[in-house]
Protein backbone atom coordinates (compact mmCIF):
# COMPACT_ATOMS: atom_id res chain seq x y z
CA UNK A 1 0.00 0.00 0.00
CA UNK A 2 1.12 3.53 -0.78
CA UNK A 3 -0.21 6.94 0.15
CA UNK A 4 0.02 10.03 -2.06
CA UNK A 5 -1.15 13.65 -1.96
CA UNK A 6 -3.36 15.32 -4.54
CA UNK A 7 -4.50 18.93 -4.71
CA UNK A 8 -7.37 20.12 -6.89
CA UNK A 9 -5.89 23.53 -7.70
CA UNK A 10 -7.88 26.82 -7.65
CA UNK A 11 -8.90 26.47 -11.31
CA UNK A 12 -10.27 22.98 -10.63
CA UNK A 13 -12.31 24.24 -7.68
CA UNK A 14 -13.59 27.26 -9.66
CA UNK A 15 -14.58 25.02 -12.56
CA UNK A 16 -16.49 22.62 -10.32
CA UNK A 17 -14.16 19.68 -10.88
CA UNK A 18 -13.51 18.59 -7.27
CA UNK A 19 -16.16 15.87 -7.41
CA UNK A 20 -15.10 14.71 -10.87
CA UNK A 21 -11.45 14.38 -9.83
CA UNK A 22 -12.25 12.51 -6.62
CA UNK A 23 -14.74 10.31 -8.51
CA UNK A 24 -11.99 9.15 -10.84
CA UNK A 25 -9.73 8.09 -7.98
CA UNK A 26 -12.57 6.45 -6.07
CA UNK A 27 -13.90 4.52 -9.06
CA UNK A 28 -10.37 3.34 -9.85
CA UNK A 29 -10.49 1.70 -6.41
CA UNK A 30 -8.24 4.12 -4.53
CA UNK A 31 -9.27 5.09 -1.00
CA UNK A 32 -9.53 8.60 0.41
CA UNK A 33 -7.62 8.72 3.72
CA UNK A 34 -7.98 12.47 4.32
CA UNK A 35 -9.74 15.42 2.66
CA UNK A 36 -9.75 19.21 3.26
CA UNK A 37 -10.76 22.43 1.48
CA UNK A 38 -8.18 25.11 2.32
CA UNK A 39 -6.64 28.34 1.09
CA UNK A 40 -2.88 27.89 0.61
CA UNK A 41 -0.97 30.95 1.89
CA UNK A 42 2.36 32.18 0.53
CA UNK A 43 4.36 30.45 3.26
CA UNK A 44 2.77 27.05 2.61
CA UNK A 45 3.14 27.57 -1.15
CA UNK A 46 6.83 28.32 -0.70
CA UNK A 47 7.35 25.12 1.27
CA UNK A 48 5.30 23.05 -1.16
CA UNK A 49 7.09 24.41 -4.25
CA UNK A 50 10.57 24.85 -2.70
CA UNK A 51 12.11 22.67 -5.45
CA UNK A 52 10.90 25.17 -8.08
CA UNK A 53 12.27 28.28 -6.35
CA UNK A 54 14.35 30.35 -8.77
CA UNK A 55 12.70 28.97 -11.90
CA UNK A 56 11.15 31.51 -14.29
CA UNK A 57 7.60 30.29 -13.61
CA UNK A 58 7.95 30.21 -9.79
CA UNK A 59 6.24 33.50 -8.92
CA UNK A 60 3.36 32.83 -11.31
CA UNK A 61 3.00 29.35 -9.83
CA UNK A 62 2.77 30.69 -6.26
CA UNK A 63 0.28 33.38 -7.35
CA UNK A 64 -1.84 30.67 -9.03
CA UNK A 65 -1.84 28.13 -6.18
CA UNK A 66 -2.69 30.85 -3.61
CA UNK A 67 -5.43 32.45 -5.77
CA UNK A 68 -8.40 30.59 -4.28
CA UNK A 69 -9.46 27.57 -2.25
CA UNK A 70 -8.03 24.16 -3.12
CA UNK A 71 -9.19 20.65 -2.25
CA UNK A 72 -6.42 18.52 -0.74
CA UNK A 73 -6.64 14.77 -0.32
CA UNK A 74 -4.46 11.89 0.80
CA UNK A 75 -5.17 8.92 -1.45
CA UNK A 76 -4.23 5.30 -0.72
CA UNK A 77 -3.90 2.10 -2.67
CA UNK A 78 -1.43 -0.33 -4.23
CA UNK A 79 1.17 1.68 -6.19
CA UNK A 80 -0.97 4.78 -5.50
CA UNK A 81 1.82 7.27 -6.28
CA UNK A 82 2.46 6.11 -9.83
CA UNK A 83 -1.16 5.16 -10.51
CA UNK A 84 -2.33 8.66 -9.56
CA UNK A 85 0.44 10.39 -11.55
CA UNK A 86 -0.57 8.43 -14.64
CA UNK A 87 -4.23 9.34 -14.13
CA UNK A 88 -3.22 13.02 -13.77
CA UNK A 89 -1.29 13.11 -17.06
CA UNK A 90 1.59 15.20 -18.39
CA UNK A 91 2.55 18.49 -16.71
CA UNK A 92 2.05 20.40 -19.97
CA UNK A 93 -1.69 19.94 -20.33
CA UNK A 94 -1.55 20.41 -24.11
CA UNK A 95 0.57 17.22 -24.24
CA UNK A 96 -1.50 15.24 -21.70
CA UNK A 97 -3.13 12.12 -23.13
CA UNK A 98 -6.92 12.02 -23.50
CA UNK A 99 -8.36 9.99 -20.64
CA UNK A 100 -6.06 11.65 -18.12
CA UNK A 101 -7.40 14.44 -15.88
CA UNK A 102 -5.24 17.10 -17.52
CA UNK A 103 -5.85 15.60 -20.97
CA UNK A 104 -9.61 15.81 -20.46
CA UNK A 105 -9.98 19.12 -18.58
CA UNK A 106 -6.93 21.35 -19.14
CA UNK A 107 -5.10 23.03 -22.00
CA UNK A 108 -2.10 24.86 -20.52
CA UNK A 109 0.77 24.19 -18.10
CA UNK A 110 -0.18 27.28 -16.11
CA UNK A 111 -3.74 26.07 -15.34
CA UNK A 112 -3.38 22.31 -15.11
CA UNK A 113 -6.14 21.54 -12.58
CA UNK A 114 -4.32 19.17 -10.24
CA UNK A 115 -1.14 18.47 -8.30
CA UNK A 116 0.00 14.95 -7.39
CA UNK A 117 3.11 13.77 -5.54
CA UNK A 118 5.74 12.33 -7.87
CA UNK A 119 7.75 9.89 -5.68
CA UNK A 120 7.67 8.15 -2.28
CA UNK A 121 9.82 10.88 -0.65
CA UNK A 122 7.72 13.77 -1.97
CA UNK A 123 4.49 11.93 -1.12
CA UNK A 124 5.55 11.51 2.52
CA UNK A 125 6.75 15.13 2.70
CA UNK A 126 3.58 16.53 1.12
CA UNK A 127 1.09 14.43 3.11
CA UNK A 128 2.88 15.67 6.23
CA UNK A 129 2.72 19.27 4.95
CA UNK A 130 -1.08 19.25 4.67
CA UNK A 131 -2.27 16.70 7.22
CA UNK A 132 -1.65 15.96 10.88
CA UNK A 133 -1.35 12.25 11.70
CA UNK A 134 -4.78 12.42 13.37
CA UNK A 135 -6.33 13.68 10.07
CA UNK A 136 -5.41 10.42 8.31
CA UNK A 137 -8.12 7.80 8.65
CA UNK A 138 -7.06 4.16 8.80
CA UNK A 139 -10.06 2.12 7.74
CA UNK A 140 -11.10 -0.69 5.45
CA UNK A 141 -13.99 -0.43 3.03
CA UNK A 142 -16.19 -3.45 2.44
CA UNK A 143 -15.16 -3.26 -1.24
CA UNK A 144 -11.39 -3.21 -0.60
CA UNK A 145 -10.93 -7.01 -0.88
CA UNK A 146 -12.63 -6.84 -4.31
CA UNK A 147 -10.14 -4.23 -5.48
CA UNK A 148 -6.87 -5.29 -3.87
CA UNK A 149 -7.09 -8.86 -2.48
CA UNK A 150 -4.18 -10.01 -0.28
Give contact residues for ligand DAT (rule: CB under 6 A).
Answer: 52, 57, 61, 91, 109-110, 112, 115, 118
Catalytic member of 52, 59, 115, 137: 115
- Whole-angstrom Cα distance, residue 118 to residue 86? 10
3 versus 115: smaller Cβ distance to ligand DAT: 115
115 annotated active-site: yes
118 versus 144: smaller Cβ distance to ligand DAT: 118
Residues 86-145 that bind Mg ion (CB under 5 A): 118
118 versus 144: smaller Cβ distance to Mg ion: 118
- Whole-angstrom Cα distance, residue 41 to residue 67? 9
| Complete DSSP assignment for 101-134 | HHHHH--BTTB-SEEE--SHHHHHHHHHHH--GG
End-to-end CA distance of the chain: 11
- Residues forming the active site: 115
> What are the residues binding Mg ion (CB under 5 A)?
118
Amino acid sequence: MERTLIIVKPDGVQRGLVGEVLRRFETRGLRVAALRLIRIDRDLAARHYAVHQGKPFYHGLVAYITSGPVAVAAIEGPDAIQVVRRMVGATRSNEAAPGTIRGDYALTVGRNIIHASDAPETAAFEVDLYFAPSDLHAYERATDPWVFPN
